[in-house]
Amino acid sequence: MLSMGGYGTWPSPIDATLAASHDGRPEYVGTVGDEVWWTAPRPAEAGRRALVRLRADGHEESVLPAPWNVRSRVIEYGGVPWAGAARPDGGPLVVFVHFPDQRLYVYEPDGADGPRPLTPVSATGGGLRWADPRIHLDRGEVWCVLEEFTGEAPTDVRRVVAAVPLDGSAAEDRTAVRELSDDRHRFVTGPRLSPDGRHAAWIAWDHPRMPWDGTVVMLGEVTETGPFTGVVPVVGDTDESIAQVDWAPDGSLLFVSDLGDWWELRRVRPDALLPGAADGPDRSPGVIASTALCPGRGEEFGGPLWKIGLQWFHPLENGLIAVIHGKGTTALGILDPETGELVDAAGPWTEWAATLAVRDTRVIGVAAGPRSAYEVVEVDSATGDARVIGSAHRDPVDPAYYPEPRIRTFTGPDGREIHAHIYPPHHPGHRAPDDELPPYVVWAHGGPTGHAPLVLDLEIAYFTTRGIGVAEVNYGGSTGYGRAYRNRLRGQWGVVDVEDCAAVAQALAAEGTADRARLAVRGGSAGGWTAAASLTTTDVYACGTIIYPILDLLGWATDETHDFESQYLESLIGPLAEVPDRYHERSPLHHVDRITTPFLLLQGLDDVICPPAQCERFLDRMAGRGIPHAYISFEGEGHGFRRADTMIRALEAELSLYVQTFGIDRTDVPKLEFKT
């Protein structure tokens, strides 16, 4: 029999400790001989990333003990932090980036010695950083991206493709690092070596473009001891986004491009890459003939390159190609590039992370669904059969407590579509009185060029099991729905995202799904901006949770963020030189007088992307205005909380905000103390 109780008052087996312990996901899968490896979160170990090894006998183990932390800081968001290869004797050899010092290390886990550094420490600015490594045992090198600071400012930086000797000769000698490319481009990805070993291809782009705006594929000839020669751009442009590049076994160049409205997988045949060919690499990029391998589906075969080395496709030796694709949700499929036939793997997963590896005819990825967290999955390319091989999801509570999402499309201003996932309050043993409507929290994802995936998230379940609904909004600007959809935010950040979130909240209230008087907005990073902007420009919400946000556009556009996003606002807001007033008018910092509802502000003190200085200026202007608010800062946390104790406190504080604001009767959560 169901027990009666008001929304928000229900007891739940999912407490903040449980939710925090399951935060994060496996990333960066790869193969080392017959083994599968990946990185995994360790929230209880100061939020480090562990390197995990799945032995051929199925035994799963951490390779390195704490405090080893396998994570790169290139472009601050990082990228692929490790690579592995089987030594001639069959044993594994891995290289990895250690987060605290950002040095590249080499390690033979079956040997007697511990990790040895391959790269030196630099005292200049952010030092030397590395990402997207590839081991070339025959050359005695690991090729990767080098990010090198040249001064103290976050924008005093250069990035090149580099080769690091595996013998350790560069561990104390920067000059022993061989630069393979020049620094004509501000940003580069790691190089991919052609099957014949003669050419390398990589992606490059420059300010003010972000990688989802415009990138080019660079092609260079490999030399034995010097840099690449004959380097030319072959595909891509300032208004064409290439998200990934790699080689097919026959020497064709494969790449994901949004030349049409969708990121599609395309191919350039080997003969078109020869110098002197009618449409060869001595021509301008965009002229070389390429063919879409699976055209006209109206789906994404790629995504935003927020981290260096993300993968949405992987060639197989038999000529087939593993591809991640979809609209809104994603699937893993096996594509025959000659016929265009695409067969998807069977299984319950609705989201595949942008990481793939291949072992013979089997494809390994990381996937999750509405009833399962992210896990390592292996797919047989011949049959489409799939099985979980690592980080297997295990239900920490009865699955009856999991939320039941609804995929919805709402109508916003001007009749535009807005995509969202709605998670109604859900509890197998409790229900609310028939005459009561539930409170709802609108979640705005980060990015803003990002996406809220349709996956099991115990933070969402933390609220829904207590009787508070969650609406995840993939507002205009989100990825997963084509270039036109994500371009809605160009020049309109702080307008379209705010309007779309409000439209979903108001539609839920109008249809009788949500209580109009008990709506909240919540977001982190760019979502924190949307939450703060929503409180200063709308009267839709009764309160808001603002997490490591952007609050002052002018400060962020000048010297208060890192290099990667330092000119992002040129497209999101408009050129600063042309529309300076827009930077002032849209910034929540300059409109604190419009905030009339309580809010919670959460911030990591080590955040270099959205620095705490913005929160401090914001709070100074709020002081004495009589609006209840709370600020919690966390030492040792950067952009995105990783430590279990941080996430526990943050989640409980957020719940307390809603309990107090919505008038919910429950006493089992620490009371959040407000200032006015």
End-to-end alpha carbon distance in the chain: 44
Q: Has residue 93 got a pLDDT over 60?
A: yes
Tens of pLDDT, residue by residue over 339-383, are 999 999 999 999 999 999 999 999 999 999 999 999 999 999 988
Q: Which of 486, 481, 485, 454 is nearest to 470 (CA)?
A: 454
Token pair belonging to 153: 């400012």
Token pair belonging to 201: 């291809």
Tens of pLDDT, residue by residue over 468-496, are 999 999 999 999 999 999 999 999 999 99
What is the percentage of the chain residues whose pLDDT exceeds 90?
Answer: 92
What are the start-end ranges of the E strands in 317-459?
A: 321-325, 331-335, 342-344, 351-359, 362-369, 372-380, 386-390, 406-411, 417-423, 430-431, 440-444
What are the start-end ranges of the E strands in 339-416?
A: 342-344, 351-359, 362-369, 372-380, 386-390, 406-411
Name the helix (H) or strand (E) containing 350: none
pLDDT in the model for residue 243:
98
Q: How far apart are CA 52 and CA 119, in angstroms?
A: 23
Which residues are paired to 53 by β-bridges?
A: 37, 61
Name the helix (H) or strand (E) containing 14: none
Please state the rounded mean pLDDT for residues 295-299.
93
Token pair belonging to 47: 């939020």
Tell me how far the alpha carbon of residue 549 is from its chain's centroid. 17
CATH of the domain at 44: 2.120.10.30
Tens of pLDDT, residue by residue over 192-207, are 999 999 999 999 999 9
Confidence of residue 42 (pLDDT cuts 50, 70, 90): very high
Q: How far apart are CA 129 and CA 45, in angstroms?
A: 23
For the chain, give percent helix, strand, coil, nearest 5: 15, 35, 50
pLDDT in the model for residue 3:
84
Which residues are CB-neighbours of 676 under 8 A, at least 6 positions away?
Answer: 624, 625, 626, 627, 628, 629
Q: How far apart are CA 655 and CA 2, in angstroms?
A: 24
Of 179, 204, 226, at which residue does a domain stop?
Answer: 179
pLDDT, the chain, mean: 95
Please state the rounded mean pLDDT for residues 307-321.
97
How many other C-beta atoms can be found within 10 angstroms of the C-beta atom of residue 15? 17
What are the start-end ranges of the E strands in 189-248?
A: 192-193, 199-205, 216-221, 229-236, 242-247
Q: Does residue 202 belong to any structural domain of this protein?
A: no
Q: Does residue 586 belong to any structural domain of this protein?
A: yes
Q: Does residue 266 belong to any structural domain of this protein?
A: no
Of 135, 163, 179, at which residue does a domain stop?
Answer: 179
pLDDT in the model for residue 125:
84
Please state the rounded mean pLDDT for residues 601-606.
97
The two most distant CA atoms of the chain are separated, in Å, by: 78
Which residues are paired to 79 by β-bridges?
A: 308
DSSP state of 317: T
Confidence of residue 4 (pLDDT cuts 50, 70, 90): confident
Q: Which of 424, 425, 428 is nearest to 401 (CA)?
A: 428
Tens of pLDDT, residue by residue over 561-575, are 999 999 999 999 999
Q: Does residue 170 belong to any structural domain of this protein?
A: yes
Of 179, 213, 244, at which residue does a domain stop?
Answer: 179
Q: Has residue 287 got a pLDDT over 80?
A: no
Confidence of residue 276 (pLDDT cuts 50, 70, 90): low
Q: How far apart are CA 559 and CA 548, in angstroms?
A: 17
Q: How far apart are CA 221 and CA 196, in angstroms?
A: 11
Question: Residue 44: exposed, middle, or buried by beta-carbon count in 10 A (0-12, 13-18, 19+)?
Answer: middle
Residue 19 contacts residue 459 (beta carbons within 8 Å): yes
Q: Which of 467, 468, 478, 525 is nearest to 501 (CA)?
A: 478
Q: Does residue 551 belong to any structural domain of this protein?
A: yes
Q: How far apart are CA 623 and CA 675, in angstroms?
A: 8
Tens of pLDDT, residue by residue over 625-657, are 999 999 999 999 999 999 999 999 999 999 999
The two beta strands, 362-369 and 372-380, are: antiparallel
Q: How far apart are CA 294 and CA 339, in angstroms?
A: 9
Q: Has residue 164 got a pLDDT over 50?
A: yes
Q: Does residue 190 belong to any structural domain of this protein?
A: no
Q: Which amino acid is at 460?
A: I
What are the start-end ranges of the E strands in 241-320?
A: 242-247, 253-257, 264-268, 291-292, 313-315
pLDDT in the model for residue 278:
47
Whole-prediction pTM value? 0.95
Helix (H, G, I), strand (E, B) or coil at 265: strand
Residue 457 contacts residue 18 (beta carbons within 8 Å): no
Which residues are paired to 70 by β-bridges?
A: 98
Q: In the block, which residue shows the tokens 């946390």?
A: 637
Q: How many domains does the chain have?
A: 2
Tens of pLDDT, residue by residue over 505-561, are 999 999 999 999 999 999 999 999 999 999 999 999 999 999 999 999 999 999 899
DSSP state of 443: E
Q: How far apart are CA 160 and CA 184, in angstroms?
A: 9
Tens of pLDDT, residue by residue over 398-437, are 999 999 999 999 999 999 999 999 999 999 999 999 999 9
pLDDT in the model for residue 81:
98
Tens of pLDDT, residue by residue over 105-148, are 999 998 878 999 999 999 888 889 999 999 999 999 999 999 99
pLDDT in the model for residue 284:
56
CATH of the domain at 530: 3.40.50.1820
Q: Does residue 649 belong to any structural domain of this protein?
A: yes
Q: Does residue 203 belong to any structural domain of this protein?
A: no
Residue 28 contacts residue 80 (beta carbons within 8 Å): yes
Token pair belonging to 503: 């439209």
| Ramachandran bin of 127, using left for φ above 0, alpha for ψ from -120 to 50, beta for the remaining angles | left
Q: Which of 100, 186, 89, 201 is nearest to 143 (CA)?
A: 201
Domain range for 132: 23-179
How many other C-beta atoms can be found within 10 angstroms of the C-beta atom of residue 262? 23
